[in-house]
Structure 1
Amino acid sequence: MSIADPDDPTTGPYPRGALGHLRILDFTALVQGPLATQILGDLGADVIKFERLDGEWSRHWGIGNGRTHGEIDSFLAFNRNKRSVAVDLKDPATRERILALAEEADVVVENFRPGVMDRLGLGYGDFAARNQTIVYACSSGWGQTGPYSTRPGQDMLAQAASGIHLFQGTRDLPPTPIGIGVADLFTGLYLVVAILAAISHRRETGEGQRVEVDLFSCVMALQQQEITYFLSHGSIPERPTRNLGAVFVTAPFGTYATADGHLVIAMTPCPVLGEALDLPEIAVFDTNEKMLEHREAIYDLVAERLATDTTANWIELLLAHDVWTAPVQDYDALMRDPQLRHNGLLWDVPVGAGSAAETAPTFRTVGSPICMSRTPARVRRAVPHVGEHTAEVMGAGAAASGERRSNHQS
């Protein structure tokens, strides 16, 4: 079955982007899978997102339930540079159309619970029978097999089971999750790496393959230093009683209140910081062993001094002494940050543009942090409305059939 090429504007020597030769069949929802396919789309891949007739989960639920131009903000955040196809995956005719599309696709990505795609007749074996070079990428909560494989998989669950909760906060607090979805986000990045590695292998050998990542394993990979230490020594240090940032680090590493806000200090020898702050008492702690042993006393002395002046004044003085420091910024301050503006990381992305991108409403979001001199990441397609491209990809008959089923179900 033929798929129409994306309508990419011609800019630069490689207008379709570094991955413009790839076509992705995307069966993902929520965060880690959509993030991965969005990254591929930012770099030029033609991403075809298959959704339920009423749209995937994150069209109906997200952080704060905020909406912009009729779409949930969480969906907008992870679904630019994609085409949307709304179908009933249980319908045999739809399944046959999808398998036919796979004959000229490069990658299938899915993050259902293990076994769901196989039961739908859309597992790796089904696609490989139609296209032996297909790369079939799976993301799950716990792994495709094993004692937890059928459990619900979610970011905080993976954080808790992996032990990373034990590194957040101070000693008097209960185990605390990281406030953003690091399991989802890190797993999405690993999923991209796995896909591109499989594509590289296929280029050399002509072989497709199945690749897998899971939240649990990827959060453990986040802790390589800490787990390596534990495996070597059988224990980890207790969390500090003050806000020093991490159980393994020495003072003065941590967050400090100033007269009008907060700043952080990272790996800085106490003699250097003592000179900058005119604190000879801490300058005597001149080895890592001493800075770890006395870290809370050091923290108290530094905290008392930093509370006497403003964040801006301290940042200027500390940087002049080559102290590793930065202000703690809220989002209002971040949006005024000159480095953020210089890096061009905020993109205006259209929503449901169809063929009239110049008149489509836009929202502002974080763009790709990847800089490439010849094939830059950029917005090639709007965030689609549900089913916006069903007829384009599947044929007019499929779109009409899907609309009838959707109306019947409602």
Structure 2
Amino acid sequence: MRHVRTAGRKAPASAAEHNCSFGASYVVVARLLSPDARQQIPSPPLYSCGRSTAGVPFNTLANRHLTPIGPRATPPRARTTSDLAAEITSSSNRGNRFFTRRAPTCHLPPPGHVLPDGFTNDQAPASCRAGRLSRPEKRPVDAISYLTAALLGIVEGLTEFIPVSSTGHLILLVDLLGFQGPAGHVFEIAIQFGAILAICWLYRHRFFHVATGLMNDTESQRFVVNILLAFLPAMVIGAIAHDFIKSALFSPWVVSTMLIVGGIIILIIERWHPAPQVSHVNQISPGLALKIGLCQCVAMIPGVSRSGATIMGSMLLGCGRAPATEFSFFLAVPTMLAATVYDLYKNWSILSFDDFPLIAVGFVCAFIAAMLVVKTLIAFVSKNGFAPFAYYRLIIGALMLVLLFAGS
């Protein structure tokens, strides 16, 4: 007696082994319904991924000839697919088990392949359809897409270091313009790196001085400790709540609301902040730096603004406008760099080579715009304060809420 091992157990004596070639090899163990059916076992149906649910009778058969293994290997009479399907259907209705096999892992066909004739997406297993549809489709890139990418890069560079929420502006613009860039907010994440490089370039002499004096210069050591302490709360909370923030809070409604709320808070702090006790960024203590880092965590809500949270928090804690703004610049480097690297790591699988030209355009525009802002911002806020940014937030937030209500 001959046995075929399938799915971890021995098959019954009436089972036979057959080879089926339709892009893959299958081992089918079947219980025969009648002596006539012993001469021929049809091949299993082929879905788009070669998957079949275990225990479910097949009602679609591939019309292929298979030679059984064993002494009964005699040429069978020709039978049509409809005859076999009818026999299987009628037998399964009587409660018999027929063509039961272990369901393999779902494997999607290579990109560009289509379903075989006679099958549609609706006939394929649900898990295969979900996996097939999850593949990012190739998007046509035209001149409008490049212009939109450049506009988003400019907006990112202009708004990253002023208290108006660059992330909020990008979310609103992407939703308003219908920008079809890289999926998963990867574009908005990647162009932030251009703004980071602008800070690194403008303060390259300061960073070089800190790096060279780290071993023996007390001021350089204190600067690094302050930045690390201020960065620590955002790193911990961001790692814990990253997925929730991305899925639940990244919406135009949240951004518009927080723009208005943040504008009101900036006006209040500008009017009633305590007298400055810190006039230079080097006077910030480690304890004060840690408190500023806790204030930065509020900016994880889109629309709050990272720079706005750190600058306003610093002013409430006794810093002047200029040192608060400059410390916000320095703190942006590790914070934004960590967020960018982490998001790119999480979304790397959905990127394609076609996405890089758009990202490059936005990256360069963000770098140039951020350079212009950082060069002039400290002098501007020292003279005019942050009230103009607060009024801007109120106007943009109210306008976006009106548009959202009109479109809903």
Normalised by the length of structure 2, the TM-score is 0.21
Bigger Rg over Cα = 2
TM-score, length basis structure 1? 0.21
